[in-house]
Amino acid sequence: MIERYEFGLILIDGKEHKADVVIKPGEVLVKEWFTDEEHNMKMVDIQDYIRDDTDYVAIGTGDNGEMKVSDGVKKFLEKKGIEFFVDETSKAVEEYNKLEKEGREVVGFFHITC
């Protein structure tokens, strides 16, 4: 459960993270998104985190929504039949927490600055 989000900080299960994170069931990983292009999430950034039993993905695009999610990522998720939510990180955190409480198999990608 994500307990708090504010610019530059996300509190998950009592532990503060000051970098972007990926949350998989039972695991929190620190992740730098920008492998090729600044502020652009691509397939290479998500493909290793999506499992066959993933049924939902929440993507937080930053405090002001500056991070872009490529069409390739969206098409990949659609092709796999995975529902997804893309919005500013504060809204994506709310969606993630709601889905987790419902018992959904959700993976979260959260950019915590801009």
Domains and CATH numbers, the chain: 2-111 (3.40.1230.10)
- According to the model, what pLDDT value does residue 36 have? 57
Q: For residue range 55-103, what is the model confidence (pLDDT) as tens digits?
A: 999 999 999 999 999 999 999 999 999 999 999 999 999 999 999 999 9
Q: For residue range 92-103, what is the model confidence (pLDDT) as tens digits?
A: 999 999 999 999
When pLDDT is averaged across residues 18-29 and rounded to a whole number, the result is 93
Q: Which residues contact 12 (CB under 8 A, 6 or more apart)?
A: 1, 2, 3, 21, 23, 28
In the block, residue with structure tokens 């066959």: 52
When pLDDT is averaged across residues 47-51 and rounded to a whole number, the result is 91
Q: CA-to-CA distance for 86 and 80, rounded, in angstroms?
A: 17
- According to the model, what pLDDT value does residue 101 have? 95
What sign has the CA pseudo-torsion 27, 33, 39, 41? negative
